[in-house]
Structure 1
Amino acid sequence: MKEQLSRNIGLYRREKGLTQEELAQSVGVTYQAVSKWENAQTMPELALLPDLSRTLGVSIDKLLGYVSQDKPMTIYEEEYQTDSYYWGTEPNEACYQVLQAMPPTKRLRLIDIGCGEGKDAVFFARNGYAVTAFDITDAGVEKTRRLAERVGVHVDVFKADILQYRFEEPYDIVFSSGVLHYMKPELREEIFANYKRYTAPNGLHVFNVFVNKPFIAPPPEKEPHAYKWHSGELLAHYRDWLIEDSAELVFDCHSSGVPHQHAMATVMARKVEGTALVGSNRH
């Protein structure tokens, strides 16, 4: 919780356009105290949390890293309430790329970012990976658990917000499909640095993102918290990694019952063994 709180204080302070000194004056502490909070050297006293919450414009729960329960963050919160699986239970094609590129001939830790109803996470668990997964929807987390139980595998699944959750332990494979458009553009550099830092040597990232194209009409789903990417933007995060595969494609979609198209960029990148951890002091 200490590291999560420190990150959130800095994140929401910057979003509000406040300096450390301005935040300090607002809650009645020194700017050195704010600096120590944001560097996880100390934690604010419990009595200061209400003032911090008001000044930063977020709830105390959100400040502490808990996902807000008062409003849905995705349109799929309601879709996942049904017994049927909105996306089906067949894995994404990218799952087979992972299986081929990094088969679980030894224990490999994989995390599925934004697992939805769990079809990909369960596929990986069935094939021998040690799988961790998270999603922002309660229904998605519960359906992931049920699907894993149905096929007799274990997935360590929990609820978290992609904007707030950060890795604190290393993974061999980091996977996400159809989710990274919920990542605000101003947070992408920091979040990707965290993902890369906590990737084991020779580890793999397999991601896709929706990209903005002027010749493709907006999708029928109205996503209030979605932010499209630009061509080449995802790939640029891996200029210091080995790019094993990268593509951009346009495909038809009927997920909403209304035929439409998406443009998507994909990347498979490997952290070449011996590369220093991002943000570490290794030379």
Structure 2
Amino acid sequence: MNHHKLSQNIYRYRKEQGLTQERLAQQLGVTFQAVSKWENGQSLPDVSLLPELSRQLAVSMDRLFGYTSAGKPVTIYEEEYKTPDYYWGTEPSVTCYKVLELMPPTRRLKVLDIGCGEGKDAVFLARNGYDVTAFDISDAGIEKTKMLAERTGVHVHVFKADIRDFRLETEFDIVYSSGVLHYIRPEYRAEIFANYKQFTAKGGMHFLNVFVQKPFIAPPPENEPYAYDWISGELLSLYHDWMIHDCPEVVFDCNSSGVPHQHAMSKLIAQKL
């Protein structure tokens, strides 16, 4: 059992449900000091309390303990990725070339690709000499990442994880993410990005983008129940203490759903000095 993960999740899901420590303690028939100790990792809930704790926090037991279960899909792309073709193609994002330009692999650099999808960017970076770790919530995406890596003759350490729950515990030189950070609820962004920054090596860089709300851009046609918009400048504000190399905002055309539409996106390249 990962005690640290359980402590983190009790705190996280209690906050998500809008419960105080006192209210949760009342529901469970314990003292609020007991709940405080669980969240601080000083003690663990009694096994008999776990089913009711899970119910009060509105999460499965698996998720409470930090395991990604095969429950209701978080992303609409799980089904899309099950086709033989690569939904997003296999050509890397242009941002990958910025990684090569600004952090060339003159030594073995460790890269984390957050929400790798079908693996096109992760495999490209591995092919160019980076030590790549990647994760995604989609089982089909993970399998296609493995197949693409094998076909290309490179290794990518890829695994299943939920961006909402996953936290870094080892250091990376480069943190990369494209098109998935909208799955992070606004109230967790500061804490999650503080974790990403903490476990970035000195001199390391983050290459990120987020979809942003704009009154002149219609909502996308895809129905994404677990997506949360960002606002202009929000991502940049989380990196006020890093060197900012680039932070453009762009509007681009998209036809991913078969319906022509547009997205507004904030991009960020930042370095830890």
- TM-score with structure 2 setting the length: 0.96
Letter of the 2:203 counterpart: N
Distance in 2 separating the partners of 1:257 and 1:137: 21
Structure 2 partner of 1:128 = 129
Structure 1 partner of 2:195 = 194
Structure 1 partner of 2:173 = 172
Structure 2 partner of 1:223 = 224
What does the per-residue CA deviation read over 1:184-223, in whole Å, with 9 as the maximum and x for residues that have no partner? 1111111111111111111101100111111111111111
Structure 2 partner of 1:278 = none
Alignment of 1:5-84 (within 5 A): 5-84=6-85
Letter of the 2:191 counterpart: E
State the shift of 1:41 in Å.
Answer: 2.9
What does the per-residue CA deviation read over 1:208-242, in whole Å, with 9 as the maximum and x for residues that have no partner? 01111111111111111111111111111110000
State the shift of 1:43 in Å.
Answer: 2.6
Identity rate, percent: 67
Distance in 2 separating the partners of 1:114 and 1:70: 18
State the shift of 1:251 in Å.
Answer: 0.7
State the shift of 1:140 in Å.
Answer: 0.6
Structure 1 partner of 2:238 = 237
Distance in 2 separating the partners of 1:78 and 1:234: 29
Gaps of 5+ in 2: none
Letter of the 1:69 counterpart: A
Q: Secondary structure at the match of 1:174?
A: strand
State the shift of 1:148 in Å.
Answer: 0.8
Distance in 1 separating the partners of 2:115 and 2:126: 16
State the shift of 1:252 in Å.
Answer: 0.9
Gaps of 5+ in 1: 273-283
Q: Secondary structure at the match of 1:200?
A: strand
Letter of the 1:16 counterpart: Q
Distance in 2 separating the partners of 1:182 and 1:125: 25
Distance in 2 separating the partners of 1:214 and 1:22: 39
State the shift of 1:30 in Å.
Answer: 2.9
Q: Secondary structure at the match of 1:69?
A: coil
Alignment of 1:97-112 (within 5 A): 97-112=98-113
Letter of the 2:177 counterpart: S
Distance in 2 separating the partners of 1:201 and 1:86: 35
Moved more, 189-198 or 46-55: 46-55
State the shift of 1:47 in Å.
Answer: 2.6
Distance in 1 separating the partners of 2:56 and 2:183: 25
- TM-score with structure 1 setting the length: 0.93
Distance in 1 separating the partners of 2:44 and 2:93: 42
Q: Secondary structure at the match of 1:142?
A: helix
State the shift of 1:45 in Å.
Answer: 3.0
CA-based RMSD of the aligned residues comes to 1.1
Distance in 2 separating the partners of 1:106 and 1:41: 41
Distance in 1 separating the partners of 2:152 and 2:44: 43
Distance in 1 separating the partners of 2:97 and 2:252: 19
Number of aligned pairs?
Answer: 272
Is 1:206 the counterpart of 2:185? The answer is: no
Structure 2 partner of 1:158 = 159
Q: Secondary structure at the match of 2:210?
A: strand
Q: Secondary structure at the match of 2:248?
A: strand
Q: Secondary structure at the match of 1:115?
A: coil
